[in-house]
Amino acid sequence: MSAPPGTELVAPPAAPAEPRPAPVIYADSEPWSNDPLLTSYLESVVVDDGAPVDGILSEKNMRLLTEPLNSSWDGPAPGVPFVTMANVGLFHTRGEPPIVPDVMVSTETTQGDDLSLKENLGYFVVLRGKVPDVAVEIVSNREGGEDTHKLVTYARIRVPYYAIFDPQNRLGGGVLRVFVLAHKRYVPIAPDWLEGLGLGLKLWEGTFEGVHTTWLRWCDRNGVLIPTGAEKAALAEQRAEQSEQRAEQERQRAEQERQRAEQKDERLKRLEAQLRALGVEPGNDA
């Protein structure tokens, strides 16, 4: 399948240096609750249609993209909050149905904790004050429109980054394609670093929950994977074991040095005794 119009490979424009805006900290009791238009809008939308259609591999990769960020990522900068969601409705425009990214990440905002409130069950741009920074789609068939109408929609609502992971290359555009929004349309970029997000994407061949295949993972600027909670714990345990091994090696070296010192002292004492037996007082040069 050919790439959609406007996705020719060009260098993305340099992002202007702008001060980081103040984080949008969302609470469960925002003033919008007194706004009848917003209240009516929220009451009219369906946030969960109860009809998931993703396969096991897609579901696992969604969690492999969300769980590590919650477990191991400190955000794009110290003190900057973020949310990451999988298969959750992105409500972007009143009067239009939501688009449902397989994974999305949004910085500079938080999500309310009270899940009895409808506004906390989806991502509402009107409440968050911004669109997500990145949307990721995982291709499982040719019917999802990941490189057609979904690409157009994400560009129209101005999501800065968009990634298509196509493990079987069903769409014919390659296993991994990443785009940045430039002049209201997407242009392809290298996946290894998304400057505005503070994360990169890479393909990783490995085993996750007993399944060995090629997965899509987040990484840092140096290409190091953002670990899952289990990987982070295993790494901490490995480092603790290595630290204990180094400490044990230091103890063994210290013991060897002590033994060598004792052996040297014993040899010196035996030599002094031999000299005295010959009538020579050790240390007496006269």
pLDDT of 48: 63
Buried/exposed code over 57-88 (b: 16+ C-beta within 10 A; e: otherwise): bbebbbebbbbbbeebbeebeeeebbbbbbbb
**Residues in CB range of 257: below 8 A, 6 or more apart:** none
Interval 13-18 mean pLDDT:
43
Question: In angstroms, rounded to a whole number, what is the distance separating the alpha carbons of residues 172 and 186?
Answer: 18
The more confidently predicted of residues 200 and 277 is 200
Is residue 223 within 8 Å of residue 204, measured between CB atoms? no
Question: In angstroms, rounded to a whole number, what is the distance separating the alpha carbons of residues 1 and 169?
Answer: 10
pLDDT of 5: 45
pLDDT of 238: 83
SS3 content of the chain, % helix, strand, coil (to 5): 35, 20, 45
Instruction: State the DSSP code for 141.
Output: S
The more confidently predicted of residues 140 and 176 is 176
Is residue 214 within 8 Å of residue 227, measured between CB atoms? no
Instruction: State the DSSP code for 99.
Output: B
Question: In angstroms, rounded to a whole number, what is the distance separating the alpha carbons of residues 132 and 54?
Answer: 21
pLDDT of 241: 81
pLDDT of 9: 38
Is residue 123 within 8 Å of residue 104, measured between CB atoms? yes
pLDDT at 70 over 70: yes
Question: In angstroms, rounded to a whole number, what is the distance separating the alpha carbons of residues 178 and 158?
Answer: 15
Question: In angstroms, rounded to a whole number, what is the distance separating the alpha carbons of residues 213 and 167?
Answer: 9
Interval 177-202 mean pLDDT:
96
pLDDT of 72: 95
pLDDT digits (tens, 9 = 90+) for 90-118: 999 888 899 999 999 999 998 888 888 88
pLDDT at 230 over 90: yes
Residue from 51, 142, 151 nearest 101 by CA = 151
Interval 150-160 mean pLDDT:
96
pLDDT of 125: 92
pLDDT at 8 over 60: no
Residue from 178, 173, 131 nearest 153 by CA = 131
The residue behind tokens 């490979």 is 9
The residue behind tokens 């406007």 is 6
Confidence of residue 47 (pLDDT cuts 50, 70, 90): low
Confidence of residue 12 (pLDDT cuts 50, 70, 90): very low
The more confidently predicted of residues 119 and 31 is 119
Residue from 233, 227, 192, 190 nearest 208 by CA = 227
Phi-psi region of 145 (alpha: psi -120 to 50; beta: other; left: phi over 0): left
- Indicate the average pLDDT of the chain: 85
The pair of structure tokens assigned to 70 is: 């919650």
pLDDT digits (tens, 9 = 90+) for 107-154: 999 888 888 888 888 999 988 889 999 999 999 888 889 999 999 999
pLDDT above 70 covers a percentage of the chain that reads 82
**Per mean pLDDT, which range of 18-27, 90-99, 128-137, 179-188 is the poorest?**
18-27
Question: In angstroms, rounded to a whole number, what is the distance separating the alpha carbons of residues 81 and 111?
Answer: 10
> The whole model's pTM is what?
0.75
Interval 211-239 mean pLDDT:
94
Amino acid at 42: L
Can you say whether the dihedral through the CA atoms of 179, 125, 50, 59 is positive or negative?
positive
Query: 251: number of CA atoms within 13 Å, CB side?
Result: 6
Question: In angstroms, rounded to a whole number, what is the distance separating the alpha carbons of residues 65 and 207?
Answer: 14
